[in-house]
Structures are given as C-alpha cells and as structure tokens.
Structure 1
Amino acid sequence: MTRSSPAAASSTASLTSGSSSTPAHAADTALEATSARALGEFIRAHRERLTPLAVGLPQGARRRTPGLRREEVAQLCGVSPTWYTWIEQGRPVSASADALARIAIALQLSRAERAYLFELAGERDPAEPTPSAADAPAALLATVGLVEAPAYVLDRQWNALAWNAQAAELFVGWLDGSPQDGRERNLLRFTFTEPTARTLIVDWETRARRLVAEFRADSIRHLSDAPTRALIDALTAESEAFGRFWASQDVGEREGGVRAFDHPRDGRRIYDQITFKPAHREDLKLVVLVCG
C-alpha cells in the first residue's frame, strides 16, 4: 500500500459521506472507520508512554501532553507529520507495511504489540519469518505419540508433520505406511486426488467443500507464499471439485464437531474433532479425533 496524500484522503472522506451511498457501502465505510479509529487509538496510547530520553531526543521545553509529540514520532518514522497525525486521528488513510514497521520501531513495540499493530492495520509484517517444517516445536511433534486417540500435526499448507499409530490406522491412503517412505502427506491432496478419500470420508462432498472454505480462511495471510500458491494451482489443475469449491470464494473457520468415516476394515467410525494451535506458532495445528 502507498500512503495517501492529504488531498486524496480529503477527497475520499467527502465521497464516503455522500447521501447516495448504499446501505452496504455505508456499513463497509463504518467498519473501515472503526478499524482506523482502533489503530489510531493504539498508536496514540503507545506514543504517550514514551519519553524523549527513551528515544534519544532532548527533553526540551515543558510539554502539554505526556510522551512524545506527534511531530517527533513522524520524524523518527520518516513520514510527514500530517500523515502521521491523520493515522492517529483514525482517518481512512492507507498505511503501507513498511510505514507500519517504522512506527513499530519508533514506538519501541514488543513483539506482541507489533503483531497487534499489523493485525489492526490488516497488513502482514515484513519482518515476520516464514516458518518451515524444520522449525516445528519438538514437543508439539512428540505430543501426538502421547495421545491415545488419532492425532496429527499440520503445517500452514496442511502437510502432516507428525501423526500417531491410531491416525495412521484410520487414514488409509494418507497417513498409513512408513513415515520415511517419501510419500506426500498433504490433507488437501489426499482429500481431492486420492480415490480412497471419497469412500473413507462420509458425505465427502460436504466435508470437502467445507475443507476448502476452512483452508481459504486459514491461509489468507500467506496466500502469496510460493508453497501455498503452488498447492492451490496444482489442486485447481488436478481436481475439478477443488477448482469449483475454491472459485466459490466460501470462507469458514476451522471448526470441530462430528467426523464420520467408513473404514475399509472396521466400518463406520464416528469422532469428535478438536483442533489446537500452539502459542507463537499459529500456522501449526494439532488435530485430535476423540471417540464420540
């Protein structure tokens, strides 16, 4: 995103306040205003907590307000005082990821505070590392072996990083076989390209559609990452059903609930699914299927 000029922002404000706006447009504008106001309040609160000495500036004359002045933060960030003031005032001006990063540094935000800043702005932090499977916490991977129910760990592309014997026995065609056999164990690829998935998963059409909606919501922050993009493109080319579900633009939270399977040996199995996300690694998931 690029920063809006004062003139552009003023023009935007006049357009969105017109009486000809539709109710839907008015609702969208109100939501944007609420988000912008929350962002401005957060930045202002942290500016007021800093002293000039904390950022290497002279104390100067007596101050009427606590903390740094807006002009001082703008100077530290390398942005115009007007633009920074408008951000604090909650005006609907655009803030690029680079500008937000400079604000985070100038305000000396902690890691959690910086993450919150970017969430409020709807931007991805350029300093956020791209986790790999090798970075998965060893304790998380070991946890699946301690669970007596079927359990597995998924990465951000929904590749299985670890699973226990119960999961391997249940998911024929996906998690069975040796972990060292070199097979790709992606949940989406199994669901849409492995014929056994259509017989194993009860009500396959409904579950598969729901799975795609959940993946769209889950992957929104890294849709442009090469591995995620490659997976989506490959599945769209290989599976008519995946392409159709993905094109529908459905979005859904990853939910628990009843999961039914027709196992080739044991017949109908019914579980309650529970999904956990570890702290500091929300791109990973521990999925447990508890007997209902």
Structure 2
Amino acid sequence: MSLDTSTTGDSGPAKTLDATPARALGEFIRAHRERLSPQEVGLPPGPRRRTPGLRREEVAQLCGVSPTWYTWIEQGRPVSASADALARIAVALRLSRAERAYLFELAAQRDPAEPDTASAADAPATLLQTVGLIDAPAYVLDRQWTALAWNAQAADLFTGWLDGDHDRNLLRFTFTEPLGRELIVDWETRARRLAAEFRADSIRHLNDAPTRALIDSLIAASDEFGRYWGSQDVFEREGGRREFHHPRHGRIAYDQITFKPAHREDLKLVVLVRL
C-alpha cells in the first residue's frame, strides 16, 4: 500500500516516506535556500518576491554553477553532484557544521574540508584526558585505528599492544603480532569481523594515503587479512562480549562499547566493562 501524498510538478517538496536519496537531497537544499534572504548573502533585495528566500538562479550564481543544473538538483533528478559543487552549495546556503555534514551524507560524498588525518596533535585534548578518568580499560582510536591515548587498565589488558614499546595500530596487533592471536579468544572470528568493520568504517577515506598504505602493508604481512579483505564483507562496528586469554589474569570477559565524539567522527572512544 502506497503512503505517497506528494503533489505533482514543482510547486513544493514531495512528502513521501520512500523518497529517493536524490529527492531527499533536493528537499534539504530547497528548504535551506528558502530560509535565506538576499540581504544575508549580500544581494540586493530586488522587486517583491512571490516565494520565500533566495531564487534558484541566485544560489546558482553564488555557487558558480548553471541554473539548470542547480534546479535539477533541487528537483531530485539523478544528476551528478561533485564534492566541490556540494561544498560551494554549503557555503552559499551558509550551512552549519552539522547541516554541511548532513548534506554530504545525503549525497554520499566525502566533504573535501574534512581533515585527511587525525593524530594526537589535533585530537580534542579533553577526549584524550577523558580516557584517564575512566575506571575500566579505555582507549581512543584514530581513523586508521591507531591508539592515540589509553589508560593503565587498557595497557594491562592489551599486552603486546598498549603496554611497552609496540606498534599502536589495532589491526597490525591483531593480524601480525603473535601475542594478538594468543590474547583474543576465537581469534579467527574476531579478526574476520574486524577487517569487515574497518572496511565499513574507512569507506569515506579509503583512498587516503595513510589508509591505503595501512591496507597494503596488512595484505603483504598477513594472508588472513588479505583473504578477509578480499571477501568484501562489510559490518558495522558493534559492541558486545569480548573475551581474552590473559597471560596473568587468565580468561576474562568484557562488554565493549564504542563512542564517537561530536564533530570528530573519525575518532573513537572504546570502553570495556568487566563482566
């Protein structure tokens, strides 16, 4: 049974529960165009307007794109919208950080203004400090899943990774370090899922040099990673039970939960609660 209550033509946005991504993108852009006045973007008010906000031709002028192309975008037609063109639309419509992120998600594009790398130098200091306040194993990962910060409980749990002088990348620890295989219960299942979760998590920056170098090095160093990566499996990163064969504490189990900080979704705060 259809729940479509849209009107035909271009008199207003369609009100549907099954709008296509292109239509949803068009409706979002149109709504924000109608909220802006000419004065807000430095244009003369001109004669009396029959519709609210800016005209499509004015936004197209501000963006440096053709009025026809911009109209088609708003109408939800399946036309190509480059990341650069979307960035110009975001600036012209004066979108907030959250609105701009939503625009790029709707268009399934990566924002060119998104930072290419994340490191301890540019990670929020409060996030890194928070790790030390948590009374459970906790650590922060960057977009290549390299640990930027961790607490004493995490160092005690993850022997061979977060203790001593080791490579801090979670994937390298899991796939190339013998201690990783010994520590993680049901290593094959967890490792396969880890590769699939990283594929899903890294899709927006899969061709960035640091991510590409990491994947290439893992394929060269680990037959299992190469096989799991080649399977094209994709899973969302999820929490749940994690079990370890610890060299000092024996078999221990935790419930893992992952948080993404506001404005820095390329970082992750991971906490393990003892069961």
State the TM-score, normalized to the length of structure 1: 0.85
Match of 2:57 among 71, 77, 93: 71
Q: CA deviation at 1:147?
A: 1.7
Which residue in 1 is equivalent to 2:10? Answer: none
1:157 and 2:144 correspond: yes
Give runs of aligned pairs for residues 128-139 of structure 1, distance below 5 A.
128-130=114-116, 131-139=118-126
CA distance in 2, matches of 1:145, 1:56: 48
Which residue in 1 is equivalent to 2:71? Answer: 85
Question: Which residue identity does 2:113 align to in structure 1?
Answer: A
1:95 and 2:81 correspond: yes
Deviations 1:32-75 (A, max 9, x none): 96100010001111111111222222222221111111111111
Question: Which residue identity does 1:250 align to in structure 2?
Answer: D
Which residue in 1 is equivalent to 2:162? Answer: 175
Q: CA deviation at 1:290?
A: 0.7
Give runs of aligned pairs for residues 1-150 of structure 1, distance below 5 A.
34-130=20-116, 131-150=118-137
- Secondary structure of 2:20's counterpart equals helix
1:223 and 2:206 correspond: yes
Q: Which of the two has greater helix per residue? A: 1
- The CA RMSD measured in Å over matched residues stands at 1.6
Which residue in 1 is equivalent to 2:15? Answer: none
1:195 and 2:182 correspond: no
Question: Which residue identity does 1:184 align to in structure 2?
Answer: D
State the TM-score, normalized to the length of structure 2: 0.90
Higher mean alpha-carbon deviation, 167-176 vs 224-233, is at 167-176
Q: CA deviation at 1:129?
A: 2.3
- Secondary structure of 1:290's counterpart equals strand
CA distance in 2, matches of 1:224, 1:134: 22
Match of 1:257 among 240, 256, 261: 240
- Secondary structure of 1:275's counterpart equals strand
CA distance in 1, matches of 2:45, 2:148: 54
Q: CA deviation at 1:200?
A: 1.0
CA distance in 2, matches of 1:223, 1:270: 32
CA contact (8 A) 1:157 1:227 kept: yes
- Matched positions, count: 258
In structure 1, stretches of 5+ residues that fail to align are: 1-31
CA contact (8 A) 2:155 2:163 kept: yes
CA contact (8 A) 2:119 2:148 kept: no
Which residue in 2 is equivalent to 1:243? Answer: 226
Which residue in 1 is equivalent to 2:189? Answer: 206
- The structure-2 alpha-carbon separation of the partners of 1:144 and 1:57, relative to structure 1 and needing over 3 Å to count, comes to closer
Q: CA deviation at 1:183?
A: 3.1
1:278 and 2:258 correspond: no
- Secondary structure of 1:188's counterpart equals helix
CA contact (8 A) 1:37 1:89 kept: yes
Identity rate, percent:
83
CA distance in 2, matches of 1:272, 1:186: 21
Deviations 1:146-199 (A, max 9, x none): 22211111111111111112111111111111xxxx532110000000011112
In structure 2, stretches of 5+ residues that fail to align are: 1-17
- Secondary structure of 1:134's counterpart equals coil
- Secondary structure of 1:86's counterpart equals helix
- Secondary structure of 1:133's counterpart equals coil
- Secondary structure of 2:121's counterpart equals helix
